[in-house]
Structure 1
Amino acid sequence: MKNLGDMMKQMQEVQARMQEMQARLEDLDVVGTSGAGLVSVTLNGKGAMKGISIDQSLMSDDREMLEDLIVAAHADARQKMETALAEEMKQLTGGLPLPPGLNLGF
């Protein structure tokens, strides 16, 4: 029974570390850019958009280009956020690979 008790203790420690990581992700800001920095999008570590910045020079009649730049900046920020999340998970799991598709609530 000692092994079961040790396992439960380890699971509680992992759960506590996951809660800490989720709190850090809320505070994490990642910025994605496009158009050589003319458009930037800020996401938190959970993927929620916190802000957008558009250079005044883009405020013209080329609406489609501006929309494309916003989408590209968001994709850049999303990729950076996912990289940061992967690093956090690597630290949490001690470098152990998790099975693909395993959702730990993020």
Structure 2
Amino acid sequence: MQMILQQAQKMQEQLMAAQAELAEAEVVGQAGNGLVQVTSTAAGEVRSVRIDPKIVDPDDVETLQDLVVGALQDAAHKAQELQAEKMGPLAGGLGDAGGFGLPGLG
């Protein structure tokens, strides 16, 4: 029983370390061949948005909005991939990955 508790504690420590790493790791999502870029943490916190001035057209705001959404989605997808990479081995040992409370691991 003591061995099981030690293994559970070790997995919890590994999980906490992986979560801390994901909170700091950054991914960059982009749309429009890089005209719009979103930098976020792998935990989903948006840190910055960069918009190339040549895409800004006051007569076509919808395209810019679509590009921002596309870049956000790309960043979220890359964050999910990084989460799966970092948390995958831990999730395999615990069964339900959704129990970690991280988006994209359910």
TM-score, normalising length: structure 2: 0.87
Describe the SS at the equivalent of 2:81. helix
1:58 aligns with: 55
Q: Pick one of 97, 101, 104 that aligns with 1:105.
A: 101
Displacement over 6 Å in runs of 4+? none
Deviation sequence 1:34-85 (CA, Å, 0-9, x none): 0011000011011011100000101212111000000000000100000000
Give the drift of 1:105: 2.8
Residue of structure 2 aligned with 1:35, choices 32, 42, 50: 32
Classify 1:55/1:35 alpha carbon distance in 2 versus 1 (closer, same or farther; 3 Å).
Answer: same
Structure 1: state its 5+ residue gaps: none
The number of aligned residues is 101
Which structure has the larger Rg over C-alpha atoms? 1
CA drift of 1:96 comes to: 5.1
Calculate the TM-score normalised by the size of structure 1: 0.87
Q: Give the C-alpha shift of residue 90 in structure 1.
A: 2.0
**RMSD (Å), alpha carbons:** 1.7
Cα distance in 2 for partners of 1:16, 1:98 equals 17
